[in-house]
């Protein structure tokens, strides 16, 4: 059926595109699903943002080729902490062992010894660190070679003029994977974490909007493990060697690949490696392009890892609903932008001189789309003894009115007083009693010494003042992402054509190496540090931090968005410098031209 070389090339391109695309989709689905559960894992195991950001990026550390079949095992290892840990417990007035009501005692200090429950939390935190770090490292070993070699192969076999479009489709597929991952997260995170072992009615007190709620984060990992196992099968049927006979032109210069050229030995490659690596590092255009990509990828890393948390803290969105918005609005818009960028490359055949100018204009517009976000946020809610600081606080959240209540420092069960002030727990509000309707988890706390008037409070945090901003903010973020992604494919094609054809696979590998070392490894941790710097009250267990309870919302918004805009501005400056440098050199097209009729 496929008798001619042209048909064979077309067939191999399609097969490679489907195989690489399906595996990339499942890989990105797994990674994005894991990132969508970061906030939930933080809450379950008491991690700060730096710790969770570091875990999410550890798969970038070991960047060495290995079989792709191990990826599904890594996903299963990530789920192990759930099965090895004790059932999730939370502060409650209904659990006899976790009472957090005010019990008046003379000369109480509020200090207590490290209990068994708090000690268990620290042990579980250590377990999750070891297991998840190991799984992420192993996943990085197995998945890195897939996309770089697939891109190079498709670019080698694609017909003239179609390479940019095919690669744009591949990247778009890799974006739809995260979209499915976030949608999967929005479903399973509405299920209680211990659904597989909880007693009937145990979780009735909690709802997905409760700050103590923990969803079934482990369930999606088992699902993605199955997908990774299935998509690894086609790689066993690829041929040992691929023979390509092609030539292509770069604006008058014809670079021909020698059909008699044989694959060198591994020893020859290692001998050439230092020279090739240094030559790439000393190539100004290649390095500037990769550094600009690092800047824009850092923005994506910050959004992928912590956008869920940003929406939850700023606009009181549940983790499940924010995952739904990201998967349904933000990521599809980026995929559409990538495909449109490929179509632009195919239709207008942008040159080295045009691409930087085009990218600078597009990315500048996306930055301006982000400016209104700085003004579309909610102020920090009033939390007694935490924010704003008041004179009646004697030791953080321990108020003078609840000084004799012996409130544990590790308790976290927010309540909202009728004075619209939030308290860390009924104990911190001085509440000594509560009423509860039969078969209804809704409670009213009464006789609260710290609340004037009727002295009552209701469970949960006080209502957010600007939830109406949530959808407009998501639309703005999605619009900015769509516009910015228009430049993704042109910049990437510029990277491919900035090196000799015989070094293209090696250059892509170096590019991915630099992206991981300079972006995907440090960026989540840097965003985590930035977010942690805005925390105004930490949950404590045995004297150690166990996650942030409250953030300064204005600082969180300005620093989180400001870091993204800073990365974008630096990337735009690098592209502008490339454009200036290209203005002084010979202009040539990035598209491959055919030798004969199509």
Domain 272-380+467-597 sits in CATH at 1.20.1250.20
The pLDDT score that the predictor gives to residue 152 is 58
Query: For the chain, what are the domain ranges?
Result: 1-88+117-240, 272-380+467-597, 382-389+396-463
Half-sphere exposure of 522 (CA within 13 A, CB side): 8
Measure the CA–CA gap between 370 and 560, rounded to whole angstroms: 12
Q: Is the confidence at residue 160, as pLDDT, over 60?
A: no
In tens, the pLDDT along 481-537 reads 999 999 988 898 888 888 887 777 788 888 888 888 899 889 999 999 999 999 999
Q: Could you tell me which residue, 467 or 72, shows the higher pLDDT?
A: 467
CA distance 167 to 17: 9
Tell me which CATH code domain 1-88+117-240 carries: 1.20.1250.20
Residue 6 pLDDT exceeds 60: no
Tell whether the torsion through CA atoms of 138, 143, 148 and 149 is positive or negative: positive
**Chain segment 209-253, per-residue pLDDT in tens:** 888 888 999 999 888 888 777 776 766 665 555 544 444 443 434
Tell whether the model's pLDDT for residue 255 goes beyond 70: no
Question: pLDDT band for position 480 (50/70/90)?
Answer: very high
Task: Using pLDDT thresholds of 50, 70 and 90, give the confidence band for residue 574.
Answer: very high
Q: Which of 5-19, 271-285, 417-431 comes out lowest in average pLDDT? A: 5-19
Rg (CA), the chain: 27
The C-alpha atoms of residue 590 and residue 261 are separated, in whole angstroms, by 24
Residue 402 is given by DSSP the state G
pLDDT at 403: 82
Alpha-carbon distance of 539 to 553, in angstroms, equals 17
Spatial separation of the C-alpha atoms in residues 540 and 546, rounded to whole Å: 5
Q: Do domains 1-88+117-240 and 272-380+467-597 have the same CATH topology?
A: yes
Instruction: Name residue, tokens 């670079």.
Output: 255
Q: Which helix (H) or strand (E) holds 540?
A: strand 535-541
Distance (Å, whole) CA 129 – CA 85: 12
264 Cα distance to chain centroid: 39
Mean pLDDT (the chain) is 77
Strand partners, 248: 255
Going by pLDDT thresholds of 50, 70 and 90, the confidence category of residue 401 is confident
For residue 162, is pLDDT > 50? Answer: yes
Cis peptide bond prior to 388, omega within 30° of 0: yes
pLDDT at 307: 94
**Distance (Å, rounded) from C-alpha 263 to C-alpha 212?**
58
| Token pair of 568 as six digits | 């974008």
Asked if 13 and 54 count as a contact pair (C-beta separation under 8 A), the reply is no
Q: What is the pLDDT of residue 129?
A: 75
**pTM, to two decimals:** 0.82
Give the model confidence (pLDDT) of 350-386 as tens digits: 887 888 999 999 999 999 999 999 999 888 989 998 9
Contact assessment for residue 430 and residue 414, using Cβ atoms and an 8 Å cutoff: no
Which position has the higher pLDDT, 559 or 304?
A: 559
Tokens representing 431 are 């509440």
Q: What span, in angstroms and rounded, lies between the C-alpha atoms of 467 and 137?
A: 38
Residue 23 pLDDT level (bands cut at 50, 70, 90): low
**pLDDT for the residue 274:** 82
For residue 384, which of 423, 351, 417, 358 has the smallest C-alpha distance?
A: 423
Q: What's the whole-number mean pLDDT along residues 4-15?
A: 48
Note the pLDDT of residue 594: 41
């Amino acid at each position: 059926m496929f008798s001619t070389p042209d048909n064979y090339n077309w067939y191999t391109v399609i097969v490679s595109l489907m195989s690489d695309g399906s595996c990339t989709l499942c890989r990105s689905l797994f990674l994005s699903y894991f990132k969508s559960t970061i906030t939930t894992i933080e809450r379950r195991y008491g991690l700060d943002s730096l710790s969770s950001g570091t875990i999410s990026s550890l798969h970038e550390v070991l960047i060495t080729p290995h079989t792709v079949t191990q990826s599904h095992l890594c996903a299963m290892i990530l789920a192990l902490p759930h099965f090895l840990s004790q059932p999730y417990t939370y502060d409650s007035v209904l659990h006899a062992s976790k009472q957090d009501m005010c019990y008046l005692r003379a000369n109480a200090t509020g200090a207590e010894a490290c209990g068994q429950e708090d000690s268990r939390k620290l042990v579980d935190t250590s377990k999750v660190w070891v297991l998840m770090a190991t799984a992420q490292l192993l996943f990085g070993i197995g998945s890195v070679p897939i996309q770089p070699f697939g891109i190079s192969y498709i670019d080698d076999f694609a017909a003239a003029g179609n390479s940019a479009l095919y690669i744009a489709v591949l990247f778009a597929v890799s974006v739809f994977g995260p979209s499915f991952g976030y949608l999967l997260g929005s479903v399973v995170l509405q299920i209680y974490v211990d659904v597989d072992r909880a007693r009937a009615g145990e979780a009735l007190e909690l709802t997905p909007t409760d700050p103590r709620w923990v969803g079934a984060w482990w369930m999606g990992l088992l699902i993605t493990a199955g997908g990774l196992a299935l998509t690894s099968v086609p790689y066993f049927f690829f041929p040992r060697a691929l023979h390509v006979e092609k030539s292509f032109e770069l604006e008058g210069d014809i670079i021909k690949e020698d059909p008699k050229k044989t694959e060198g030995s591994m020893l020859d490659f290692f001998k050439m490696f230092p020279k090739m690596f240094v030559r790439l590092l000393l190539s100004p255009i290649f390095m500037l392009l990769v550094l600009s990509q690092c800047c824009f990828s850092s923005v994506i890393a910050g959004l992928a890892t912590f956008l869920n948390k940003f929406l939850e803290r700023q606009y009181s969105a549940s983790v499940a609903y924010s995952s739904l918005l990201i998967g349904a609005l933000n990521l599809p818009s980026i995929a559409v932008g990538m495909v449109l960028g490929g179509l632009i490359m195919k239709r207008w055949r942008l040159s080295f001189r045009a691409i930087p100018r085009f990218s600078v204009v597009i990315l500048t517009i996306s930055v301006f789309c982000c400016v209104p976000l700085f003004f579309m946020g909610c102020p920090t809610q009033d939390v007694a003894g935490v924010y704003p600081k008041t004179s009646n606080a004697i030791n953080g959240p321990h108020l003078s009115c609840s000084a004799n209540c012996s409130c544990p420092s590790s308790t976290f069960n927010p309540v909202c007083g009728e004075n619209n002030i939030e308290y860390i727990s009924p104990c911190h509000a001085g509440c000594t009693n509560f009423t509860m309707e039969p078969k209804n988890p809704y409670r009213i706390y009464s006789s609260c010494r710290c609340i004037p008037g009727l002295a009552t409070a209701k469970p949960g945090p006080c209502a957010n003042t600007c939830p109406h901003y949530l959808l407009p903010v998501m639309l703005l973020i999605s619009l900015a992402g769509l516009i910015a992604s228009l430049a993704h494919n042109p910049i990437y094609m510029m990277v491919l054509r900035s090196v000799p054809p015989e070094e293209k696979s090696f250059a892509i590998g170096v590019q991915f190496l630099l992206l991981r070392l300079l972006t995907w490894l440090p960026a989540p941790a840097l965003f985590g540090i930035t977010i942690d710097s805005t925390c105004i009250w930490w949950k404590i267990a045995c004297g150690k931090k166990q996650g942030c309870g409250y953030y300064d919302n204005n600082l969180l918004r300005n620093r989180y968005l400001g870091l993204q805009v800073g990365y974008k501005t630096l990337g735009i400056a690098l592209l502008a410098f490339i454009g200036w440098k290209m203005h002084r050199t010979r202009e040539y097209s990035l598209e491959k031209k055919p030798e004969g009729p199509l």
